Structure 1
């Protein structure tokens, strides 16, 4: 099995088979417009611009499961991403990435590579870790997605190679991306 076994709804509602990205290096990210990590859109776009001609594609999946940090509807998300961050990589409709109703793609991704913890030295960790521990300890159960901007790097054959948590800034993944390109 690979990520090519899954489909998801694009922002325009068209069902897309991830098989369309066969032969490319893929970075799958669950996103949110009002998160302490939303600034990562800028560097995600930078990575996409830098490597898209070499075979990289980024796929954004907005999610509102983490403390209500994606309140916008799909049209609002698309507009926010384009106007605020110049996002041109493919974005998909709001998606459940954990718990009941989880999209099968994210169930698959979370089960491929375990959660190894957040980087406690990342500046946003000072807010994130206490928030989760105090308000949402249920997020820490199992290897599920723990927060917005969890990133999965997929090789050209559709296999999950690496999992990066929200506390990994996109540009810190560049060497791993280059190794697959």
Structure 2
């Protein structure tokens, strides 16, 4: 017997949200599948909030920092990254969530979701054309940086524990790794 999984489109997903079907569930759409999101523990909530504040101050008017808000990707995915660094499009986001061309980079904070964020989400983000993806490993307190898309996957993966990093979108800006992982 063959098992076929029903895949959902972004429009299907939005209709479910509007109908209230998913109102009491913390979920996201990944490659056409509705996936339960892990609950946020205290370190996750604290670190992502502090990093968001830091990036807001650091980047100023260069970008908007969205915390735990959906982004819409062409691969039937609408994840909710912990932090999305996006173009400042103001009221345009009333009409749609940021698309890949609006996104400078995304950051996920991971403890129980570490494998999902490092394996599944890295492929989803690369396939969608998001040029840079950061994962904060809350278990080891390090920052994993994915870059250089090649054949729908990130070709470069770098792990940092200290120092600074220059985002691809803003090469003149130095981001302190300590401020992102909140050591």
Higher RCO by CA contacts (8 Å cutoff, separation 6 or greater): 1
Query: Normalized against structure 1, the TM-score is what?
Result: 0.29
Bigger share in helix: 1
Bigger share in strand: 2
Query: Normalized against structure 2, the TM-score is what?
Result: 0.29
